[in-house]
Amino acid sequence: MSADLPFFRYHPDPLASGSIRESAETCACCELSRGWVYTATFYTARDVSGGFCPWCIADGSAAERFVGDFTDSYGLDGVSEDVLHEVTRRTPGFHAWQDPRWLVHCQDAAAFVGEVGYAELAAHPEALDQLRTDMRLNGWHDESRLEHFLTSLGEEATAMLFRCNNCGVHLAYPDAS
């Protein structure tokens, strides 16, 4: 990980998640080639010719210039306006099959860790328990089917893992094609 990249509190390792990669591409906002380019979602009605550099994400200039959001505010309930803006306008989004959503804990947005399978999820039993509870609430009443789905994560479906910056707990939601 390059020490030169801006730090994103809500997405601390965008290289590991694949949202930012090394590239000689010119940034669509500052028009400089900074060596790194953003590869994930950006929602805007404007035409954007190419990717953004991490600096134009971090300082909000890309979101401001193209009147867009990196992440939909869906799911970001109960967080302050500042946090909402930091996540949607100054934080790299991530790649997902379905529209990405951001998880919340301790009335703050959680930090996105990455897309994981069962083994990585099982290393954080609290995330696995929370996912199991959420899925039961969403209508997964067949326990053996549910356990099969969870242990198969990483194959067809995956889990999006987050970590609370305040209490350190891990959380996840399932994503599938």
- Site of interaction with Zn ion (CB under 5 A): 27, 29-30, 53, 56, 105-106, 164, 166-167
User: Smallest Cα–Cα separation from 160: which of 68, 80, 93?
Assistant: 93
Question: Which of 29, 150 has the CB closer to Zn ion?
Answer: 29
CB of 46 to Zn ion, least distance (A): 15
Question: Which of 51, 114 has the CB closer to Zn ion?
Answer: 51
CB of 72 to Zn ion, least distance (A): 22
Question: Which of 31, 143 has the CB closer to Zn ion?
Answer: 31
User: Contact at 8 Å (CB) between 8 and 60?
Assistant: no
User: Contact at 8 Å (CB) between 79 and 10?
Assistant: no
- Cα separation, 96 vs 155, in Å, equals 14
Question: Which of 90, 105 has the CB closer to Zn ion?
Answer: 105
- Cα separation, 148 vs 157, in Å, equals 11
CB of 123 to Zn ion, least distance (A): 18
User: Contact at 8 Å (CB) between 58 and 27?
Assistant: no
- Strand 104-105 to strand 36-38: parallel, antiparallel, or no bridges (unpaired)? unpaired
CB of 54 to Zn ion, least distance (A): 8
